[in-house]
Amino acid sequence: MQVVADVDEADIGQVKVGQKATFSVDAYPDQTFEGNVTQVRLSPTTESNVVTYEVIISAQNPEHKLIPGLTANITIYTLSESGLILPARAFNFEPQSDIEDKKIPQPTGSKDDLKLSDNQRCLWVVNNDRLVPTAVTVGQTNGINTIIISGISDGTVVATGYETISSEPSRNAQRSPFTPQPPGANKKKGGTK
């Protein structure tokens, strides 16, 4: 069975023959079908000022559920990479040595001591209650998360920022008038005569 997909011009440059694709059809919304890209047609179609290109996906149809004319929602996997995923903000963390809280790990060494290659970045890893600069090899990023290919293992504690949490609310803190009040908070103090 072949599925003809219209791919937007902004995405067509990433689509290549042989890539994996998954899709669902409205007739079977809870089932996912799999296939592979077999053609990327270079003849554009323009409709309402939107340019798309046809991509042909070959899919197995052993149960004969797929029939001509069904509408398909397709995902084409243009990149597949394995590794650990970390928030990109971890690369912006800089330790502060002037913090006197004994619960916060103190830095050991400097990231300037690391010899980083083009695809390496520095992370601050918590090791024995100390912050240690560590070189990691990075992969793809979407600006929010970054793939770590090597340099740390699963379960490594990485510093992303300092956070101070108070267990007691401030007496002077402003309270939203829409926040539910604790029981008895609206009772007036004093008695009536």
pLDDT in tens, 34-79: 999 999 999 999 999 999 999 999 999 999 999 999 999 999 998 7
Residue 193 predicted with pLDDT over 70: no
Based on the fold, state whether residues 61 and 90 are members of the same structural domain: no
- Among candidate residues 35, 59, 76, the one where a domain is terminated: 76
163 in any annotated domain:
no
- Among candidate residues 14, 41, 76, the one where a domain is terminated: 76
Containing domain of residue 34, as a range? 2-76
Q: pLDDT class for 164, splitting at 50, 70, 90?
A: very low
Residue 106 predicted with pLDDT over 50: yes
Based on the fold, state whether residues 35 and 97 are members of the same structural domain: no
Q: How many domains does the chain have?
A: 2
CA 105 – CA 130 distance, rounded (Å): 5
Residue 65: give its domain's CATH number: 2.40.30.170
The pLDDT of residue 165: 41
Write down the residue that tokens 């971890």 correspond to: 90
Identify the top-confidence range among 54-63, 92-101, 157-166. 54-63
The pLDDT of residue 167: 40
The average pLDDT across 144-164 equals: 84
Mean pLDDT value across the chain: 83
182 in any annotated domain:
no
Burial class (CB in 10 A: 0-12, 13-18, 19+), 63: exposed
Based on the fold, state whether residues 28 and 70 are members of the same structural domain: yes
Residue 102 predicted with pLDDT over 90: no
The pLDDT of residue 129: 83
In 48-182, at which residue ranges do the beta strands (DSSP E only) sit?
50-59, 72-76, 84-87, 106-107, 120-127, 130-141, 145-150
Residue 179 predicted with pLDDT over 80: no
- Among candidate residues 76, 98, 118, the one where a domain is terminated: 76
The tens digit of pLDDT for each residue in 108-150 reads 877 888 888 888 999 988 888 888 899 999 988 888 889 999 9
CA 137 – CA 35 distance, rounded (Å): 32
The pLDDT of residue 184: 57
Q: pLDDT class for 159, splitting at 50, 70, 90?
A: confident
The average pLDDT across 99-112 equals: 74
